[in-house]
Amino acid sequence: MKKIIAVAMLACMTMAFAGCSQNTAEEESKGQISIEESVQSSADSSAEESSKQESSKQESSKQESSKEESKKEESKEESSKQESSETEESVQESSAAPEQQVITTVTETVPAESSQEPQQPAQPQPEQPAESSVVPASTGSYSNSDLSFTFNGSNIALLTKINDALAVLGTASNIESLPSCLSIDSPDDKLYHYNGFTVQTLTDSEGEKIYNIDITGAGAATSKGIAVGSSTADIEAAYGKAAEQDEMLYSYTVDGGKNRLEFFLENGKVTEIVYSYAP
């Protein structure tokens, strides 16, 4: 009986131990599964992190490549600007070269000429006759030959003897006596009045001569056709630029100012013409 009980107890213990072992094996199996799942999860996380890092690296690589392209483009633009600048400098140097060559040639030539031909002393210029003192003209010209006016188709000049002039002018409407322009001891000057002009005379050793003519109206004109009412353009066309000229007066002179022809103006038109001789 004791043996049977002992055997039964042993069997129970064996069964209990087997159950315990089975439970342990199951737990170990579950633990292994859990470990494998954890490892798999960790591996998945690592793979995802690695993928993210790779993507980040690719993005960085793209940005770096973009920067490199930008630098290359800037380098090309800088190179293009430099080439353009060099081209402009080359063109400027090319255009300036002829002028520099001319300057160099002149510098080299002048001493050669001066060494071959000694400088001559300045020669005195001969005095020009009175006729050459004509004022430079813009179109026409003025000289001693223009010191006359026209009346009844005849020219009467300054310093004409009065008897010769009266043969053309006829009898004056009035004759005045004035103090002599020469000296107090000389005979009086005379002023002959005509329609539109006057003639004044002086008396010297050669007799009575005209030394002033004053035209203020119609009937008389200059030897070149300028009369009261003519324009400044007409004057310049006939006599050129005046020695003295403004809005009120055009003055022409010869013989150092002794002989003078003057046009007095108003609104660009001639109102008076005066011939005069300064004794």
| Sequence ranges of the domains in the chain | 20-93, 131-277
More confident residue, 165 or 35: 165
pLDDT tens string 175-189: 999 999 888 888 999
- When the pLDDT of each residue in the chain is averaged and rounded to a whole number, the result is 74
Question: Would you say 222 and 108 are in contact if contact means Cβ atoms under 8 Å apart?
Answer: no
Residue 159's pLDDT band, with cuts at 50, 70 and 90, is very high
How many CA within 13 A on the CB side of residue 124? Answer: 2
Nearest to 157 by CA among 278, 276, 24, 21: 276
Give yes or no for residue 20 having a pLDDT over 50.
Answer: no
Give the Cα separation of 141 and 274 in Å (integer): 17
User: Where on the phi/psi map is residue 2: left (φ > 0), alpha (ψ -120 to 50), or beta?
Assistant: alpha
Segment of 60-64, 90-94, 245-249 carrying the highest mean pLDDT: 245-249
Question: Would you say 154 and 168 are in contact if contact means Cβ atoms under 8 Å apart?
Answer: yes
Per-residue tokens: 172: 């004056």
pLDDT tens string 129-147: 444 344 444 457 888 889 9
Task: List Cα–Cα distances, 145 to 46, 78, 149, 155, 161, in angstroms.
Answer: 123, 78, 11, 11, 17
Query: What are the helix and strand counts (H, E) for the chain?
Result: 3, 11
With b for 16 or more beta-carbon neighbours within 10 A and e for fewer, the 87-108 pattern comes to eeeeeeeeeeeeeeeeeeeeee
Give yes or no for residue 168 having a pLDDT over 90.
Answer: yes
Give the Cα separation of 83 and 72 in Å (integer): 16
The CATH number of 131-277 is: 2.60.460
